[in-house]
Amino acid sequence: MTTRLTATERRDDLLDAALIEFAEHGYEGTSTEDIARRAGISQPYLFRLFGTKKDLYIASVGRCYRDTLELFQRAAEGRRGEEALQAIGEAYMEQLKTNRVWLRAQMQGYAASEDPDIRRVGSPRQRRRLARHLAGLRDGDVPERPRVHACPRQPGALDERPARRLRQAGLTGPFFSRGGSDDSQP
């Protein structure tokens, strides 16, 4: 006798299948037919669950970003400063060793961010939230677990204070920069 999956389990399976396909082929290069096939469901059911390919993309990549932040939070729990940052780095590297889909999906998310709806998933607001959390870890003042939203309502400009603190701590790169490319200015 086969056990039927709950709607939540089926949705999670679909998000897993979508993340793999989107990580491999990107937003534009992935077909909903391939995602449905990988998930073992019909394409009409895929659209019943998510409405559009873009909605499915946003949900799958948003969940990947949220899972990454939660991984950071678990790794840093009970630690402060350098010890917390080291634990975050080790946890992330271990995750990437065992599951390259996360990194590829995140990179594809950045590549697809020309679309304003997709851009909101990895918006400046999301970067600010992560920057504040990591800056607090660097200074030893770890904030309580911040609320994580897969798709914030309104993106905003990057608050310069946490970004400056990260640059001073030596944590730089496009993820932490104001516009995504220039890290050189204080």
Query: What digits encode the pLDDT tens for the residues 23-66?
Result: 999 999 999 999 999 999 999 999 999 999 999 999 999 898 88
Tens digits of residue pLDDT in 103-114: 898 888 888 888
Name the residue with higher pLDDT: 186 or 171. Answer: 171
Q: From the DSSP assignment, how many helices (H) and strands (E) are in the chain?
A: 9, 0
CATH 1.10.357 holds for 54-145+152-168? yes
Is 84:137 a contact under the CB 8 Å cutoff?
A: yes
DSSP reduced 3-state for 45: helix
pLDDT tens digits along 137-169: 665 554 444 444 444 333 333 334 444 554 555
Angle, nearest 10°, between helix axes 32-39 and 43-50? 100
Average pLDDT of the segment spanning 72-81? 89
For 10, list phi and psi in degrees, rounded to 5.
-65, -40
* Whether 63 contacts 15, CB under 8 Å: yes
pTM of the model: 0.67
